[in-house]
Amino acid sequence: MIRLLAALAALALLVAVLPAQATVPGTETIYIWESGGMTEPTLQRISVVAGRHQGVLAQEHRGTIKLLAVNRDGEPIQSAPTGFVIPMAALALDPVESRSVIGTDVADALQSGAVVMGESSARLRGAQVGDVVRFVGWDGTTQQVPIGAVVPDQRVRSAELVFSTATAAQFGFSRLSSVTISGFSDKEALYQDLVSTFTGEFVGIDPDPGRNVDDVLSDVAAKRMYGEFAYEFTGPGDKIRIDPAWVGSNIITVNLPVLGQFKCHRSMVPYLESAIDEVIAAGLDSIIDRADFQIAGGCYNARLIRGGDKGGAISRHSWGIAVDINPSSNPYGGVVAMDPRIAEIFHKWGFAWGGGWVYTDGAHFEWTRLPIFMVDT
């Protein structure tokens, strides 16, 4: 009952937390991405398919920007602790080719050299039009760009900061990751053509983002639910150090059956514990390798996302909302050996599963939503 009440209390936080189409209302699109960034050959093939259906492409560059402060009239309304930065999910678009998708107001703000901020991100820091965003560019330089517009998250696919590609290029931000197709003659026909073209490849094709049980939270949704933190890069490799104040308020040590003792975000505990209880009740607990979880898996782990060029994105393990179970037999990008019955139980309790991703991660379970029996479907 305590776990159930905790889950119900979280309901108020779960409003529009999954990715949404980056469109103005009424604009139909299909969103396509390639794991690790989109290559030129993939882009050309998409263009050919889209052309067969009168589709228009808008390219998207994605990555993480390191926020230093948001200033108003020369004074900070938010700033990272000294030596730390705040990770911000950034998107760069060509305002001309994207105008029909993002809307005239966003396109005009981008063409003026300003940055556009999503509403959720603006609320997190009390930002408004006219404030100035100060951040570290990908070229290592400190940049200052005014906020030209604040728009609903779905208008910019839940990005926190949106730049024009021309502005982004000035500080080295360039990472083609996805495209949006609009203006097509028949959405279903285009979708099937794309699926046929890219079957068996690490290319995701989504006509309705946010509807797949294995879709994950956007960065800003994770911040809304679990809190925003600042970090510093410490190394080696992908290691980061998160602001100790955030860690102290959110990360706790738990001891659960089957998994043992480990650290994770306090808000996730009721759902993870319930999933493990159901695994035990189903007689599946022997499938989970406790030693492997303790040595190679776990939950809280402050680091960047691993595996190729991820644009400096922060791992959900840094929030303590993901667990890796049986990682040795379910390597990232490898054959998925996870028992589907365990995945089904975790799905039931609100976890996305990496085994259903374009680039598979069969060990990875990430909490994203309320259990399915607590949501009106």
Listing DSSP states for 44-57 in one string gives HHHHHHHHHTT-EE
**Into how many domains does the chain fold?**
2
Full domain range(s) for residue 49: 29-182
Q: Is residue 176 part of a domain?
A: yes
Amino acid 212: pLDDT: 81
Q: Is residue 292 part of a domain?
A: yes
Tens digits of residue pLDDT in 292-335: 999 999 999 999 998 767 899 999 999 999 999 999 999 999 99
**Residues 146, 265 within the same domain:** no
**Residues 12, 37 within the same domain:** no
For residue 195, the surrounding DSSP H or E stretch is helix 187-198
**Residues 255, 141 within the same domain:** no
Residue where a domain stops, chosen among 142, 164, 182: 182
Q: Is residue 193 part of a domain?
A: no
d(CA 353, CA 343): 7
d(CA 357, CA 279): 22
65 or 211: which leads in pLDDT: 65
Amino acid 5: pLDDT: 40
Amino acid 309: pLDDT: 74
Amino acid 25: pLDDT: 53
Tens digits of residue pLDDT in 9-45: 443 333 333 344 445 655 789 999 998 899 999 999 9
d(CA 3, CA 9): 10
Q: Is residue 121 part of a domain?
A: yes
Residue where a domain stops, chosen among 156, 182, 208: 182
> In 3-state terms, what secondary structure has residue 317?
helix
Amino acid 372: pLDDT: 57
Q: Are 215 and 18 in contact (CB under 8 A)?
A: yes
For residue 143, the surrounding DSSP H or E stretch is strand 142-151
Q: Across the chain, what does the average pLDDT equal?
A: 91
**Residues 33, 10 within the same domain:** no
Amino acid 24: pLDDT: 60
**Residues 169, 123 within the same domain:** yes
Q: Is residue 36 part of a domain?
A: yes
For residue 377, name the pLDDT band (cuts at 50, 70, 90). Answer: very low
**Residues 174, 290 within the same domain:** no
Amino acid 26: pLDDT: 57
| Gyration radius of the chain's alpha carbons | 21
Q: Is residue 324 part of a domain?
A: yes
Amino acid 208: pLDDT: 72
Q: Is the pLDDT of residue 8 over 50?
A: no
Q: Where are the alpha helices (DSSP H) in 199-243?
A: 219-226
Amino acid 281: pLDDT: 98
CATH number, domain at 276? Answer: 3.30.1380
Amino acid 165: pLDDT: 98
**Residues 12, 54 within the same domain:** no
Residue where a domain stops, chosen among 147, 182, 217: 182
**Residues 162, 58 within the same domain:** yes
This prediction has a pTM of 0.90
Amino acid 9: pLDDT: 40
Q: Is residue 163 part of a domain?
A: yes
Tens digits of residue pLDDT in 131-179: 999 999 999 999 999 999 999 998 998 999 999 999 999 999 999 999 9
Q: Is residue 191 part of a domain?
A: no
Tens digits of residue pLDDT in 211-266: 688 999 999 999 999 999 999 999 788 999 999 999 999 999 999 999 999 999 99
Taking residues 279-296, report their average pLDDT: 98
Q: For residue 254, what are its two tokens?
A: 């738990």
**Residues 124, 7 within the same domain:** no
d(CA 204, CA 178): 9
**Residues 10, 33 within the same domain:** no
**Residues 10, 55 within the same domain:** no
209 or 252: which leads in pLDDT: 252
